[in-house]
Structure 1
Amino acid sequence: MLIGEVARRSGVSSRMLRHYDSLGLVRPTGRTVGNYREYSADDIRRIFHVESLRSLGLSLREIGRALEDPAFAPAALVSDLIQRTEDRLHREQELLERLRTVDASAPTGWEEVLRIIELLHSLDSASPARRQQAILTPDAVPTDVLAKAILSESDPNVAGALRWALARADDGVASIAPGLQSKDVTVRRRAVQAIVELPGADATAVLSRALGDDDPTVRKHVALALGNRGVAAAIPALVSMIVQGINDVESAEILGTLAADPTVIDSLTAALADPAADSAARIRLTQALAELPPAVAQDALRGLTQDSDKVVAMLAKALLK
């Protein structure tokens, strides 16, 4: 079969077939009387092998090695191709996100596009000082850019500057809230630290949904923030923190404020007088009762003066005085 017909049937151009020949990749086994290339059935099968391997992203050199070396192990090459493809997809995903960020900012001219690109480069810098400087520039940083940077920032100073900027941006809650759904606990912690600094009912609602998070650090930030916002649903978590000795003084002070709500007094005092806790925890719970209004705490403290744990009983008596 002559080169023109091979090109028509295989879909590989005559020019590429000549290139394959010059590289020794696919050499026709015969020549006509007029010295035209003549391909055999085996040659055509080899062309299809080459094209199949090219479709996987192999270079012509790699294809030649794969077809000629009997000891060649395809598994290593395939693994390398997978890694290269994943890297390329990662770069393209980053480019897509960058383009979406530029598009979301609704730039009015190339000057603004270039400013946003420079900002994104600065926020991706390896230098914490440069990242922080980018946040504090006079030009406003888009909210979604701030949120993305917060969820990936490890430097505490830069993270603080990012949260400060987000608290002054529009719609900060909606931008950062998806971080609380991440499977990565570090991302959830960064998200909750940002949300607790945001005012408003939207932030409170998002925090309320995170009270059941399985990470103690996330729950701690959520419970303290909700308690300070007067949300009674945080009471069980705050009491649990006192039992565990986690921010127990701050939790007790917040419970003292929440005790102003008459609807929670009975359940609150009952929880703080929990007889099932260990000795150290019950001492902390008894101390927490002292943060409640005297009229609320007295009955519970009187009951604890007869406690079987002498330290708890003595502490309750001292607090009553």
Structure 2
Amino acid sequence: MATGISTGPDGTALGPTGRPVKEFPVPEFLDGHGPARIISLCNQKGGVGKTTTTISLGAALADYGRKVLCVDFDPQGALSAGLGVRTHDVTTVYDLLLSSRTDPHTAIQPTNVPGLDVIPANIDLSAAEVHLVNEVAREQILAGVLRKLSGEYDVILIDCQPSLGLLTVNALTASHGVLIPLESEFFALRGVALLIETIDKVRDRLNPAIELDGILTTMFDSRTLHAREVLERVVEAFGDTVLDTVIGRTVKFPDASVAGTPITEFAPDHPAAKAYRQLARELIARGAVA
């Protein structure tokens, strides 16, 4: 996996973003847990690494002593499959959305990573928008669910579906921050402005506290001019909002998904695993995670 490290005129090591390479410190373990900061991983384009990032970031944060809950909010259930948890004949996020009487604790499943739990989803979730459309305060239903769990976790990561519909608006309304995984490809770049416009509307109308925590470049291959040009344009457009951590393209991600294990556990010494541990450190250093 190419890293894109180069040097500046003064010999300073430069990362793929063109900035000096930073070393983010290993965080200290926390004395206690909660209340959680809720972060949505969101992009209306599919195949940009949202689910992979949710799984890998969650596992990396758990390795640093954070108690993490991942919420599968995509009817495809890829997050649940990637963490090796059951999705049928169990309580899912769909059940929690449809009934306020269902205890959200009944939907939580542990993973093989200590400190990392998940609320699963399956294809039933695809019917949620139809059921919720006539509900009072329909955009705030997920927020009510997560409020009951917030005190037990340090961070809650919501893996959104590739859409800007009612489910994604629910996720954004429930969140303190948004992380945008962005594939280093031109057509992926085109949709970012629309997504940020949606976040601004949610901030104005539903959730004044929501912040853009960062744009994460994924599937980056420094060997291609196209990928380098896209990353350069993203940095020009969004400045420090673009995270220093860059996730490279590798076949290890699908291998880890098939195994139902995060890349940090499946291949802990692989550059991709190291990149996600760096992402966890960077978000902690930026204050996006406790």
User: What TM-score, normalized to structure 1?
Assistant: 0.23
Report 1 or 2 for greater relative contact order, CA contacts < 8 Å, sequence distance ≥ 6: 2
Structure with greater Cα Rg: 1
Q: Give TM-score scaled by structure 2 length.
A: 0.24
